[in-house]
Structure 1
Amino acid sequence: MTESAIISTLLAFLQRSDSSDDDFNQLALEIFAYQFAHNQPYRRFAIQRGRTPLTVKHWRNIPAIPITAFKDFTLSCGPIEAMQAVFMTSGTTGTVKGRSYHPTLDVWQCSMMLNFRQRFMAGVDRIRMGILFPDTVAMPNSSLATYLALAVQAFGTPASEVMVGEHGLDVERVFAALEQAENSGEPYALLGASYSFVPLLDEMQRQQRRFSLPAGSRILDTGGFKGQSREVAAEAFYTSLANAFGIPRAQCINMYGMTEISTQFYDEGNEICPPVKSGPHWIRTRVVNPLTGDDMPDGEVGVLVHHDLAHFNSVSALLTEDAGVIVPGGFHLLGRVTGANAKGCSLTMEDFLAAAQVNP
């Protein structure tokens, strides 16, 4: 398939209400063949693993690259100078950042909007949003900044606003918007990185302030704390959000996404931690033993592997560094891998480095 044919096929596939295992498998194999043909580091890795379009017959056998490979290699099926967008992973100054290349954002945006409408908006067309994260002017290569800007554009009311400027979070501006929502009875949504909520909660505690937002209000957090704020255990974090804003924990939704894929996962709120996370029909998740690549039995802890058809220009099969367990309806996200699983991820990356740097 050509790039234009894949884009057209994907846009139609994403807009279906669902897909069978056979339909998913067929498209996954076609995208693997495309990536094998045009993404040379991935091709060399796949050959080293004995996996080619001739030998792979099921999406579960498509070789997954380790997430850290995005920092060391240009993983793109097209020339990077022709890309419409390049998303970069977060990192401290001086560290190498992973890059994800997009020849068009049409598929990425379609994936985001269809999923966000179903999982966060839940039947509401638009809601006033307060964004606790910098905008795309400040962070043009941030997939999260782009995600939040698209959320406002597609689903926010005209009164929606970004609450983070060059001097950081504007707490008083947030308070003013929350007070207005309380008084008007208009549902309100706060969205941002998990760590963005911590200084807001701390300041509310310092000032002994609480809000009781109208019914239908909701919160979306994502990304964890990443050393940007103090760490807060999930149970305490969502209890604090519910108490501070008067929003049920069922309406405190965590989004799990990453720069290295084009689709996000959501839960159904955080009444119980950890909640079950799941994605739309164009992404499938496995839990594997990173040393062998074999699937772990349901209910046993391993490393998450995501097969995201929307991530067509790079590699659709991604070995994360996140521990998880398959449960009915999706998976539990258990944090970063440790011990033998961490060693297994490192060995997989060593294999990738060795294979990708030599000619087949």
Structure 2
Amino acid sequence: MDTFKNFASKLYSVNDDTFNDIALEVFRFQAINNPVYAAFIRHLGVAPAAVGHWQDVPFLPISFFKTHFLQTGQWTPEVTFTSSGTTGASTSRHGVEQLAFYHQHAQRCFEFFFGPLTDYHFLALLPSYLERQGSSLIAMMDYFIKNSQSDYSAYYLHQTDKLLADVAKLRNSPKKTILWGVSFALLDLAEKHDVDLSHCLVFETGGMKGRRKEITRAALHQTLYERLHAQPVYSEYGMTELLSQAYTTGKYTFECPPWMRITGREVTDPLRKGLLEETAGINVVDLANYQTISFLETEDLGKVYGSGVFEVLGRMDNSDIRGCNLMVE
């Protein structure tokens, strides 16, 4: 892989047969052209040419996004996404050379599972994200709202009455209606209003943002089902440090688009990878991160299954609760 353009041309043609070869190509390119990752690999004593499978690639701890600006090759970011963090906590920074690439890529991730943006009205209930700068979720939702070609697609930050009125108006719309919300805002809606969202697709993006006590995803979905009559409730697995998103398709397990893979690692031995059907740390390969780092050791706990789907069960001890992907006890 000589240029980013060369790899970009391969990103959306990747499949089960080609994923390993392309992932190794990205790994070896990043091992040479990303100074932070190159030093990390040298410290581990890993020879890139000797790695023969993507699960054996060294995964960089995601906390490096808080302490370093991770960049493969020479380019200037058009936008830098930042994580929300907790009060006083350091935040992650993820540079993106072209915002248009992120927009179009997020669209591809969504449409891989749910079909064209133009099939939907996007009603966004995302306080806390709208109240800060640098949110990748807001960048994605801005694009979805604009490109849905719906007069109803919008943010409803302090407009609960309008949200409820528009939901009622859209009950018989030929387009499907998505209510996409941060968890605490969806729970507030469920507790304060008697509303029937049985005709809507409800997407929760996790995280109480310090507004409410964290609960399990199962408990959240059950409450939304009972109070809003939303069945099923969908979830997005995304974060500042990833350019791709995984989604549930009606269950609690997430599915990845073809350019993304998950593997489980032993919590006390991060070099032991490939764990299946047991609680493990989640490692992510996101080939869309080819200009930063594609191989990330996250701070999430979960289970990975043989079919490639995965659950998110919680956060590791001593890691800050943040982002848009997590319910913990």
TM-score (norm 1): 0.79
Q: Secondary structure at the match of 1:92?
A: coil
- What CA distance in whole angstroms lies between the structure 2 residues aligned with 1:78 and 1:196? 40
Which residue pairs with 1:224 in the alignment?
207
Displacement after TM superposition at 1:38 (Å):
2.3
Q: Which structure has the bigger radius of gyration?
A: 1
- What CA distance in whole angstroms lies between the structure 1 residues aligned with 2:149 and 2:207? 24
Displacement after TM superposition at 1:116 (Å):
0.3
Would you say 1:302 and 2:280 are equivalent positions?
yes
Which residue pairs with 1:264 in the alignment?
245
Q: Secondary structure at the match of 2:123?
A: strand
Q: Which deviates further from its counterpart, 234-243 or 83-92?
A: 234-243
TM-score (norm 2): 0.86
Which residue pairs with 1:48 in the alignment?
43
Which residue pairs with 1:337 in the alignment?
316
Alignment of 1:194-213 (within 5 A): 194-204=183-193, 209-213=194-198
Which residue pairs with 1:355 in the alignment?
none
Which residue pairs with 1:110 in the alignment?
104
Whether the aligned pair in 2 keeps the contact of 1:178 and 1:213 (CA below 8 Å) is no
Which residue pairs with 2:291 in the alignment?
313
- What CA distance in whole angstroms lies between the structure 2 residues aligned with 1:265 and 1:244? 26
Displacement after TM superposition at 1:103 (Å):
1.3
Which residue pairs with 2:65 in the alignment?
70
Alignment of 1:1-360 (within 5 A): 1-2=1-2, 5-10=3-8, 12-16=9-13, 19-21=15-17, 23-78=18-73, 82-119=76-113, 121-122=114-115, 125-133=118-126, 139-155=132-148, 157-164=150-157, 169-182=158-171, 187-204=176-193, 209-214=194-199, 217-249=200-232, 252-270=233-251, 275-290=252-267, 291-329=269-307, 330-338=309-317
The Cα offsets for residues 307-334 of structure 1, whole Å up to 9 and x where unpaired, read as 1110111111100111111224311211
- What CA distance in whole angstroms lies between the structure 2 residues aligned with 1:93 and 1:338? 18
Displacement after TM superposition at 1:61 (Å):
1.8
Whether the aligned pair in 1 keeps the contact of 2:83 and 2:135 (CA below 8 Å) is yes
Displacement after TM superposition at 1:142 (Å):
0.6
| 5+ long unaligned stretches in structure 1 | 343-360
Whether the aligned pair in 1 keeps the contact of 2:77 and 2:98 (CA below 8 Å) is yes
**Aligned-pair Cα RMSD in Å:** 2.6
Aligned residues: 317
- What CA distance in whole angstroms lies between the structure 2 residues aligned with 1:212 and 1:65? 41
Displacement after TM superposition at 1:280 (Å):
1.0
- Letter in structure 1 aligned against 2:263: R
| 5+ long unaligned stretches in structure 2 | 320-329
Whether the aligned pair in 2 keeps the contact of 1:139 and 1:145 (CA below 8 Å) is no
- What CA distance in whole angstroms lies between the structure 2 residues aligned with 1:246 and 1:179? 14
The Cα offsets for residues 85-113 of structure 1, whole Å up to 9 and x where unpaired, read as 11101123443211011112344333311
Whether the aligned pair in 2 keeps the contact of 1:134 and 1:162 (CA below 8 Å) is no
Displacement after TM superposition at 1:126 (Å):
2.2
The 1:114/1:230 distance shift into structure 2, 3 A limit, reads same
- What CA distance in whole angstroms lies between the structure 1 residues aligned with 2:204 and 2:149? 16
Whether the aligned pair in 2 keeps the contact of 1:182 and 1:211 (CA below 8 Å) is no
- What CA distance in whole angstroms lies between the structure 2 residues aligned with 1:38 and 1:149? 32
Instruction: Tell me which protein shows more helix as a share of its residues.
Output: 1
Whether the aligned pair in 1 keeps the contact of 2:303 and 2:310 (CA below 8 Å) is yes
Q: Secondary structure at the match of 1:254?
A: strand
The 1:85/1:243 distance shift into structure 2, 3 A limit, reads same
The 1:65/1:212 distance shift into structure 2, 3 A limit, reads closer
